[in-house]
Structure 1
């Protein structure tokens, strides 16, 4: 039965269910979830968005075992946890070890030194680290802040604990990869948590304080078409790419870009690349 192609929920219905359920378990808000037919598939043999909900693995098992009654599931399906709170619950990320690596738009940021500084910030904008790893005697802690164009927080990772807002048009967490979309075929962030020590961002529109970074494959475009970064390697630097305002306490930096256009797209190249990336 598990190999029956008719049992696969069509992508459009999956997205409708995610949006209605707030991109997480309706019971507890966990971002890791299964699609659950409230009307048993074996009986109805059809996919109807209104009859499908999201349950985390634990609540899914409890439903299957009969410990979680369908009446309670239906109640929470009408008022999902995440939509009540405007955000998901935190879920852990399992990072560890004595080295770390970011791959962002084909640029590699590595740290394996146990000497000070023990923090790797691949990208900092106006003193705010968008992503960072802290190494501390085998403990590897990932943090991240992802904003929309109005500086609203969309994704927060605090020392290996991930949470996201329910404001985006769509959020999908499949395996190790989280994809946040602004609208249909418009990706805001595609990030892979390749534990135990790596993060990969191969498609994104990173935004903060009017700075825009466009990422696709091995290309990273900062601000305008004159700042194209590709295949750079940064090793044991506290900050790889610093953009805009500098912190009051100087830190070791690979590339500093102080004077960058903010939310301007006045070139044909930038418009073309942005269109490619955001599809």
Structure 2
């Protein structure tokens, strides 16, 4: 968090952010990119005494950098602010340009449309969609994505994606975001297909003990802490309140109405390995009396059976 010489924090209230988004057309005023940041234009943040929405614009990272490097003048941005590109074209573009039509979200082989909460894990809405806040505003995606160790790698708050600097690598090429834990180790690959589709091409995550992995057009796998394993290579959910509701000991699909079509699905249970099962079933370690019945179930006394070799 930054604080300027007047004690103003760089945290902007949600209501003011919304007013800025609406005025700017929900994208960068200069290029229309839907991945943006809030920029104090005049006065700059260093000289601002308040977060006045009339003096703040949306700029994408590229345009902001060009302004900082003085390649793009603030005078040009002021002109754009009076007539934002998004307002001219009627839409914003970028990885999360969803437009005004209900988007389709694909997570591996799970396809959802008109679903309020796509995935819920132990009560947490991991992936959800909100309707437009006002006329002319886009649908809003909110999501929390983690890696296979349960550490946050990306979150989406009202169409704004945020990645932590703890990630090993975050690469953005075109409309695709790729996050790696190490060289060649991809834990998330996500792409947008503006303005109606968002696709999770690849994901390996754990949240609250539930493991979730997927590959586009290949599979979706869920493993609960109790050992339940669900695998599906085709699942379509439409119009449900919750698409996939996952708990420690149960999984529900298509909660709250709507329609569900499952092309292929298997539900198994992961059992411990045989050595572990034997170890778990073995009696607790204690000294066996010589005249007790031998635990090997031979019927003989311990001293005349297994105890005789001790």
Q: TM-score, normalised by structure 1?
A: 0.54
How far has the Cα of 1:181 moved from its partner?
A: 0.7
Question: Equivalent residue of 1:97, what SS?
Answer: coil
CA contact (8 A) 1:106 1:202 kept: no
CA distance in 1, matches of 2:194, 2:272: 36
Q: Which residue of 1 aligns with 2:235?
A: 232
Match of 2:64 among 48, 58, 61: 58
Deviations 1:163-222 (A, max 9, x none): 110111111011111111111111111011222221101211022012111111221111
232 and 101 in structure 1: CA distance in 2 versus 1, 3 angstrom threshold: same
Unpaired runs of at least 5, structure 1? 1-30, 33-54, 69-90, 112-118, 267-279
Checking the alignment, whether the CA contact within 8 Å between 1:205 and 1:213 is kept in structure 2 is yes
- The residue that corresponds to 1:167 in the other structure is 166
Residue deviations 1:74-129 (CA, integer Å, cap 9, x gap): xxxxxxxxxxxxxxxxx983322231211111221111xxxxxxx52221111112
Q: Is contact 2:95–2:175 with CA below 8 Å preserved after alignment?
A: no
Counterpart of 2:287 in structure 1 is none
For 2:116 and 2:269, locate their aligned partners in 1 and report how far apart those are by CA, in whole Å.
Answer: 25
- d(CA) in 1 for partners of 2:117 and 2:268? 19
Question: Does residue 147 in structure 1 map to residue 118 in structure 2?
Answer: no
Alignment of structure 1 residues 146-225 onto 2, 5 Å: 146-218=145-217, 219-223=219-223
CA contact 2:95–2:192 (8 Å) conserved in 1: no
- Are the aligned partners of 1:211 and 1:260 in contact in 2 as well (CA < 8 Å)? no
Taking only aligned residues, the RMSD between alpha carbons, in angstroms, comes to 3.8
Residues 41-67 of structure 1 show CA distances to partners (whole Å, capped at 9, x for unaligned) of xxxxxxxxxxxxxx7343236537397
SS in 2 for 1:171: strand
2:166 partner SS: coil
State how far apart, in whole Å, the 2-side matches of 1:66 and 1:144 are. 33
Larger-Rg structure? 2
- Does residue 107 of structure 2 align to residue 104 of structure 1? yes
Give the whole-Å Cα distance in 2 for the aligned partners of 1:167 and 1:261: 34
Residues 142 and 110 of structure 1: CA distance in aligned 2, closer, same or farther (over 3 Å): same
Change beyond 3 A, Cα 1:261–1:150: farther
Asked if 2 retains the 8 angstrom alpha-carbon contact of 1:108 and 1:234, the reply is: yes
1:94 to 92, 97, 120: 97
The answer (yes or no) to whether the contact 1:102–1:198 under 8 Å persists in 2 is yes
- Of structures 1 and 2, the one scoring higher in RCO (CA 8 A, sep 6+) is 1
Distance 2:232 2:184 in 1: 24
